Structure 1
Amino acid sequence: MSDKDQNHHQNHHQNHHRPTQEEDDHISQEENPLSEESLPETVDEQDLYEELDEEQIREIIHEQRGKTKQTVDDSKPEGPPFPKWVFWLIAVFMVINLGAALPRIFSIPAIDFLQTSVTLLLDEEMQTYKQSIALVDTGNSKGTGFSVHPEGYVITNHHVIEDREQLWVYINEKGPYSAEVTHTYEAIDLAVLDLEGDDFPYLEVNQQPEDVTNQPIYFIGNPLRFSGIANEGTVIGKTDAVSIDVEAYMLDAPVYKGNSGSPVITENGQVIGVIYATKEDPDHGRIGLAVPIEALLEQTGDTILPKINEHSDEEQSNRE
């Protein structure tokens, strides 16, 4: 594994401008007509939604029960006993009050996609793909990555690891693994990580560029602080991108914060792209954007890429 020990940091186009959130906020539908040029991309740098686990739900229910009891106690008259119907009226009011707060935490579409994931992951192949999905924790944000080699090479977005305070990776429900950023490609918003260890599950990378317009795809990631969520969509086509130097795949798919770094997988199980952003489209609404995987494979002068290519060639030969 001498190739892995070489630390090649290649940052192409150092002066390449990427839109800031402030710039995106200045673009409104009133100021600009809905067109591909005027609609901003939103880079999924951080999760904006909090996950409610079972313990948090229990705490909320317990808190609401306490508030209800306290309200009842404070309202008890010194004379006749407190009517039970008033207690239940207050309890119903508190439940409605709690329900009104939930939409501020989750949107309905964001909840619906969990059911889709459950259905998709009933398939054995999807379960196999999921084993190669990584959770990339940088200390101040979390994103997605995926393994492409049994020796622990993981691909993710450059913006996921750009401002890292630390770097820990969880994969196949194991970890954390310490990781080193071995290659960065800011111009296409991709990075390669090297995990300590070996014998990792991995996904096959498609090395034969082809027209995938209107083809169904799958992607697995860690959106909204959930882990290992599978979803599906369709490749609409390609579009000129604002924040990367190549054309991006447009995905008619439910992409959320935290999906940055998710692999776009074809029906034959090969990775053709890496999700990096979302965009409002006049015809399809909110769509996902993905960096074509060939943009990474076309990079030259790196030790990791020939190794990935060689391994993928071996896999293809074994299938034949």
Structure 2
Amino acid sequence: MKETDEEEVEFEEPAPEDFLFDEEETVDEKDKKRRKTVLFRVIGLIVAVVLILQVGNIWFNILSEESRELTETSEELSQQEDVSIYKEAVVAIQGNGGRGTGFSISDNGYILTNHHVVSQRQPLTVSFPNGDYFTAEIVESMEEPDLALLKVDGEDLPFLTLRSSDAKENEDIYVIGNPRLQTQIVNEGQILNNENPFQRMRISNKILPGHSGSPVIAQNGEVVGVVYARSLGTEEGYGLAIPVGQVYDYFPSLQELLDE
């Protein structure tokens, strides 16, 4: 029995190579973990730097002299009862990767803006100054002359009336829009001229990124144009707008929709 017990406890001793292999594998795993840690730290640092730059850019825009001037002017103009009413119909349009301005032109949800504000950016969200949010559908959109008609499912919405004729040169106007990170910014200017044959209206108002789709509003509250860009090569940033006559020309069924 003793001999049998001794046989049962016998075992084979591992070779030295086995220990060497385990040790090499452990070192390799540690090296991989170290490389991953370094990689994650580098990625984290890059993300942090990008976020810091974005936040810095946001604060720069907010605190810039130009933005402050726009805000001060807007606050003064917004004290006027008629201007405060116009603002209720000007909306912010948020899409996939972009933001712009639009404005309501009927109480049942038709919105006018630029083609480039909504093109390839669905789904689209339209927000009114009172806090109401809607999902918008594109009824019609044209690259030329850069116009888009949207529809939201709403009732009794504030709206601006489109004038039946184009504006006159030197006519006083307002532009209300969402430039940069600001919202509901009002500035005033004049119609400089209508640039035939291109049918583009030049306005003296300062126009910035985000103003696209803003209404050009006459003193009586009627919309006479839709902002789409600012003229190049001018430090003042004069605006370019599509005359209201062109809106009717390119959307011939618009009046019927508004009369529904």
Report the TM range for the smaller structure's normalisation.
0.7 to 0.9
The residue number in structure 1 matching 2:5 is: none
Please identify which structure carries the higher helix content: 2
Q: Determine whether 1:215 maps to 2:167.
A: no
Shift of 1:228: 0.8
1:62 matched to which residue of 2? none
Gaps of 5+ in 1: 1-48, 53-101, 312-320
Given that 2:62 and 2:68 are in contact with CA atoms closer than 8 Å, whether structure 1 keeps it comes out as no
* CA contact 1:144–1:156 (8 Å) conserved in 2: yes
Q: 1:291 to 1:171 in 2, by over 3 A?
A: same
Q: 3-state SS of the aligned residue for 2:123?
A: coil
Q: 1:291 aligns to what? A: 242
TM-score, normalised via structure 1 length: 0.60
**Cα RMSD, aligned residues only:** 2.2
Change (3 A) 1:182 1:215: same
Corresponding position: 1:234 with 2:234:
no
Aligned partner of 1:256 among 208, 220, 227: 208
CA contact 1:255–1:278 (8 Å) conserved in 2:
yes
Give distance in 2, aligned partners of 1:263 and 1:228. Answer: 12
Residues 195 and 201, structure 2, Cα contact 8 Å, conserved in 1: yes
Q: Does 1:122 align with 2:79?
A: yes
User: Which of 1 and 2 has higher RCO (CA within 8 Å, sep 6+)?
Assistant: 1
Residues matched between the structures, number:
205
Identity of aligned residues (%): 31
Separation in 2, partners of 1:173, 1:213: 34
Larger radius of gyration: 2
Which residue in 2 is equivalent to 1:202? 159
Rounded to whole Å, the distance in 1 between the matches of 2:245 and 2:131 is 29
TM-score (norm 2): 0.73
Does the Cα contact within 8 Å between 2:62 and 2:181 map onto a contact in 1?
no
Q: Which residue, out of 217, 224, 234, partners 2:180?
A: 224
Give, in angstroms, the shift of residue 173 of structure 1: 2.5
User: What residue in structure 2 maps to residue 265 of structure 1?
Assistant: 217
Cα 1:108/1:208, change in 2 over 3 Å: same
